[in-house]
Amino acid sequence: MLRLLEPTEGTIRHGDQDLLAMKAEPLRRHRARATMVFQDPYESLNPRMRIRSVIEEPLMLHTPLDRAGRRRRAAELMRMVQLETFHLDRYPHELSGGQLQRIGIARALATDPEFLVLDEPTSSLDLSVRAGVLRLLKRLQREHDITYLFISHDLATVAAMSDEVAVMYLGTVIERGRAAEVLGNPQHPYSQALLSAALPVDPDQRRTRLVLAGRPPAPSICRPAARSLHVVHCVAMSARPRCRRCTRSRRGTGQPASACLKEPTSFRLPCRPSSLRAEEKVLNAHPYSHLFEPIKIGPKVAKNRLWMTAHSTQLVKDHNFTDRHVAYYAERAKGGVGVITMEAMATHPTTQPYEGKIFAFDRAVIPNYQKLSKAVHEHGALLLAQPWHRGRETNGVVNRLPVWAPSSVPCTVYREMPHTMDEENINEILEGYTLAARYAAEGGLDGVEVHGLAHGYLLGQFLSPATNHRTDQYGGSDENRLRIVLEIIERTRREVGPDLIVGVRINGDDGEVEGGLRTEHWAQIARTIADTGLIDYVSVTQGTYQNRMLIYPTTPREQGYQMEATRQIKQMVPELPVVVAGRMTSPEKAEYAVASGAADMVGMARTLIADPEWPNKALEQREADIRPCVGANHCMASIVSAPLACIHNPAVGREAEMGTGTLEITSRPRSVAVVGGGPGGLRAALTLSQRGHEVTLFEKGAELGGQVNWIARSESYAEWGSIAGWLISQLRDTAVKVELGVEATLDSLKGYDSVVVATGSTPLRTGWSMNHPIRWASGEGVPGVDQFNVITAEEALRNHAELGPNVMVFDDLGGRHAVVVAEHLQANRHQVELVTTLSSVAPELSATRDVGWVHKRLRTAGVVFTPNREVAGIEEDVVTLRDVHTGETEEREPVDSVVLITGSKAEDSSTTASRRPASRCAQSATASLRAECSTPSGKPNWLPARSEEKKHVEGDL
């Protein structure tokens, strides 16, 4: 009813509206009129949001109320569900289950819905609490004239709450009628058996139990039916005589009192019968069965539906692959992925955004192709090349050549005016793609993925009227704009022959580019290419460099955001395998993409950077062991100036030394203390324990996770909490002893052979910017920074409710810290001014490619940007700002709170203490693991130098 899950077939109508035909805006309006209360209140409320934010969220999405109006409405809703308004400033974990379910009801009522889905809303509550919630629901229905769809297995609750009842078996309604009639005189054998299984309230009351001997039939559909089958076993379902029709009429209507929707001549539920063995197969079906089915791709067969899409590694040397490439791709193949497309490779010298680009047009790649294919094929995966050209989306800094494009339209990122390609230039590009295909075949690869159509690259520039202004044979009409693409595909197929795969990577949507190509255009392009009969699959992505957050978005972009556009393209080319991408991070979402028909295969890049073993772990149903991609885009930032890296997989790019199966168990176990329970300390403790050392982890705080925890308090960065969360979950399977709330001291560390210090850092509170280095020596701060209303980022994120309405965030770093704080505070009803000494806000986010998206989110929310200023003084609620260029000053008033983000100092007191000669642990070396730092290759410097000891301890962040 709410389209939270897309049905596989059938229709859904609400009044005169076809819900399945609704597009985005009508569907959004429908969701304001039809809302839902979920079964588990603990799972359905965001634990990182205060109750006020939970209730006000639908008001922000669906109503024109301003902040004051939303606050009034939230208070009104709390009174409606009989809760005090002071609960609005609490978090979900501070409330009971009954209170949380009332919060869920208040949230559902926020938009004055006319229809409310109640999915077992009381099944997880105590009996007395359940009664109170049911009475509340009855009263609200009476007062607000709401229709309920009440879903329950509790027959007493059904009788108390329902006017009409529908009985379902294996996903099919088998009987429907007035509640008293269905419950009092059921017509279908399954309904009769179900009701007879209910226990009477009076233990002395005798009841006749209808036991149906035999086996329930197995469903002809898969997973949804399996859940229903468990219910059937509770009532010992089996065959019965012919279903009788009720001939009594509803009073005054002449209609049957209860309509049995199935009338078999002998009792047969609406599924074909099968053996018990087949039934058990359904009950034990793999939850990701679609993902792990083989699939034919042209002349080849992929072992499963998981596809590692192309991405840059910067492991390149002399425009060619290296042994590190071999280890990198072999690691992902060993992890269980079915198909790998290697990184985009240049088809011409004019496409070199940086030195680390492979020349696919140089036959020197052939020997390395052979190495790569051998390593990948050993693990049963297919391996493809991806020839490509960037067109205008580059510059000539590296290659010192002109930028080529169909027309002289510069890119919004590189901003270099391109040379308009002539026919000779076009022929050079055609020849480059031709050579790339030839060398891929000679190198033993399984095929070629023609790239350059997607992401606004060269071939996409030819396709789009926004960037192709030509009037010759390569422009002016859809047919002409597609000409170069078809010529390249034809040449590629001719070079590789019928025994290798040829595919294309296209967009599903260019995004909000004026005159750009949208989903309907790309669907037609896919159809035209498919009609050539020359390709074996279509891989779909999104975005151009004008909106790169459609290409590789950071959190909080949702999982599977490209799925619906890909579904439309799949519908246009049903005969070809189609690959969907777009933050496909969980097995559940990937399975749904295939099972629902949105695509045939699931593409993922950053997901497999974070965890190469994702496929094997999903196959083995070890979901909790999957190291999640958190959307930090540290991988994107790393390749700006170094090889590929991950924010919490230290083995990326170093698979030969640190990959799966390389960890060695020590022959000399030691007793090791790890001081600090942030990501660095957690990683050290985990690896040391896995190697066989006896580890004790000290954390003076009340919880593990360090500074990641307070970053994750911001709703937009909640996923970052999984960095520490994953490490903590892995520690549970080790023998690491965790001492929470215990500060390590010199005396407490004396009994250990070695000590790892991972105590992180503490924020500076002086307020001085980097423009005043001499001021850093004295330790004296900017006048007024010692006031109670001057705080750190951690304090602001932890206790934002204690801040006043007007907050100034002062940033001297230019990274993510300030925008996390500003966005969180603005979302929680503070008015924020973000002041920075730099010429723009958070310029370092250019490396993670989301600087524009973050600016848009903050400015849309109402955050005020003030660049080129520093804090000169604070006096009560007046802040004096100084222009960093002219020295002129100006005042801001009133400012209730000031958040300082000017850097941090290493918390290394434990390191100093542990090096004292009196300490036994000082006689062993002490290692300090810091954020965004890894110890160098070789042996851990706090362990003695022995050849059998292999370096495996890494600072994760």
Contacts of 74 (CB under 8 A, 6+ apart): 52, 55, 56, 59, 88, 110
Query: From the centroid of its chain, how far is CA 617?
Result: 17
Q: How many Cβ atoms from other residues are within 10 Å of residue 495's Cβ?
A: 20
Structure tokens at 206: 């005798």
Burial class (CB in 10 A: 0-12, 13-18, 19+), 296: exposed
b/e per residue, 748-759, with b = 16+ CB within 10 A?
A: ebeebbbbbbbb
DSSP letter assigned to residue 784: T
Structure tokens at 481: 């704009």
Rg (CA), the chain: 32
Q: How far apart are CA 549 and CA 66, in angstroms?
A: 29
Among 188, 174, 172, smallest CA distance to 225 is for 172
Task: List the catalytic residue out of 148, 457, 592, 752.
Answer: 457
Quickly list DSSP for 407-422: SS---TTT-PPPEEP-
Contact call for residues 378 and 333 (beta carbons, < 8 A): yes
Q: How far apart are CA 571 and CA 643, in angstroms?
A: 39
What length does the chain have? 957
Contact call for residues 361 and 389 (beta carbons, < 8 A): no
For residue 769, give Cα distances in angstroms to 410, 618, 931.
37, 48, 22
Look-up of token digits 């940086």 = 354
Contacts of 802 (CB under 8 A, 6+ apart): none
Q: How far apart are CA 382 and CA 360, in angstroms?
A: 18
Parallel, antiparallel, or unpaired: how do β-strands 13-14 and 17-18 relate?
antiparallel
Q: Is 552 a catalytic residue?
A: no
Query: From the centroid of its chain, how far is CA 32?
Result: 25
Quickly list DSSP for 845-898: GGTTT-HHHHHHHHHHHTPEEE-SEEEEEEETTEEEEEETTT--EEEE----EE
3-class DSSP assignment, residue 392: coil
Contact call for residues 817 and 920 (beta carbons, < 8 A): no
3-class DSSP assignment, residue 307: strand
Structure tokens at 903: 């850097």
Contacts of 462 (CB under 8 A, 6+ apart): 406, 468, 474, 475, 481, 482, 484, 485
Q: How far apart are CA 96 and CA 84, in angstroms?
A: 14
> How many helical (H) and strand (E) elements, i.e. helices and strands, does the chain have?
32, 35
Q: How far apart are CA 418 and CA 391, in angstroms?
A: 8
Q: How far apart are CA 516 and CA 511, in angstroms?
A: 8
Q: How many Cβ atoms from other residues are within 10 Å of residue 551's Cβ?
A: 20
Contact call for residues 812 and 837 (beta carbons, < 8 A): yes
Q: How far apart are CA 760 and CA 905, in angstroms?
A: 9
Q: How many Cβ atoms from other residues are within 10 Å of residue 201's Cβ?
A: 7
DSSP letter assigned to residue 797: H
Q: How far apart are CA 926 and CA 813, in angstroms?
A: 30
Contact call for residues 378 and 394 (beta carbons, < 8 A): no
User: Which residue numbers are catalytic?
Assistant: 457
